[in-house]
Chains A and B, each alone.
Chain A
């Protein structure tokens, strides 16, 4: 059961990669990367359940904040502002 979930999540990640590859504009690629970050949280959580090791859960928690910070930095870069505001 859980293995099927993992395969679906991997397929979703590939869809994000395709969007990041096709892109067209730079913000399109950034959106794909942002959503990939949120997907990775779910992936780490399911993986923690499969391997029964709750250290992956810590990774998921940390990843929420890190992907948030990364997205904010990318968005700042997009709007041509300096990073100290």
Chain B
């Protein structure tokens, strides 16, 4: 099943990138997509029951909007710190715990954390994420830990778990 999904995805990507729909283009792309799908399909940990669940796609759409909003906030935050003459930084590395179980969910959580205000994922071990944070107030540590994870965790659980 995941072989078919991967092949289909690659084929659609090929058609969009090629920009025309000659018979030859379609056939060459199809053959290549099926070949790569057979080679790599088993290694993608895709659960096809989850992939066809409409509710998960709905939550993914909501997650996308929140994600874009956070990226915009993050950029104005960084721009402020770059342009500020005194560079208001007090960086450090801390760990946070995530509730997510699936591999794909963790990948997306790490990417989302990297692109949001003042945080950069350094390492993932099972459910612990080590995060470099651009501004830490040591007396509000638990609030910060909560804020980093809770923003995305509850949506990603609904999407991937």
A–B touching in complex (CB under 8 Å): yes
Contacts from B to A (Cβ < 8 Å): 17, 19
Q: Using a CB-CB cutoff of 8 Å, which residues 1-39 of chain A contact chain B?
A: none
Interfacial residues, chain A to chain B (CB-CB below 8 A): 54, 58, 61
- Give Cα distance in the complex from A54 to B19, angstroms: 10
Q: How many angstroms from the CA of A62 to the CA of B47 in the assembled complex?
A: 29
Q: B residues within 8 A CB of A54?
A: 19
A-B contact pairs, 3 of them (CB 8 A): A54-B19, A58-B17, A61-B17
**Shortest CB–CB separation between residue A50 and chain B, in angstroms?**
20
Collect the chain B residues with CB atoms within 8 Å of residue A58's CB.
Answer: 17
Give 3 closest A-B pairs by Cβ, nearest first.
A61-B17, A58-B17, A54-B19
Instruction: Give Cα A61–Cα B17 distance, bound, in whole angstroms.
Output: 9
Closest chain-A Cβ to B78's Cβ sits at a distance in Å of 13
A61, closest chain B residue (CB): B17
Determine the distance from Cα of A61 to Cα of B19 in the docked complex, in whole angstroms. 13
Distance between Cα atoms of A58 and B19 in the complex (Å): 11
Q: Name the distance in Å between B55's Cβ and chain A's nearest Cβ.
A: 31
Which residues does chain A contribute within 8 Å of B19, judged by CB atoms? Answer: 54
Shortest Cβ distance from residue A23 to the other chain B in the assembled complex, whole angstroms: 20
**Minimum CB distance partner of A54 in chain B:** B19
How far is it, in angstroms, between the C-alpha of A71 and the C-alpha of B41 when the chains are bound?
25
How many Å from the CB of B120 to the closest CB on chain A?
A: 12
Cα–Cα distance between A58 and B14 once the two chains are bound (Å): 12
Complex-state Cα separation, A9 to B19, whole angstroms? 28
Per the bound structure, the CA–CA distance linking A58 and B17 in Å amounts to 8
Return the chain B residue nearest A62 by Cβ: B17
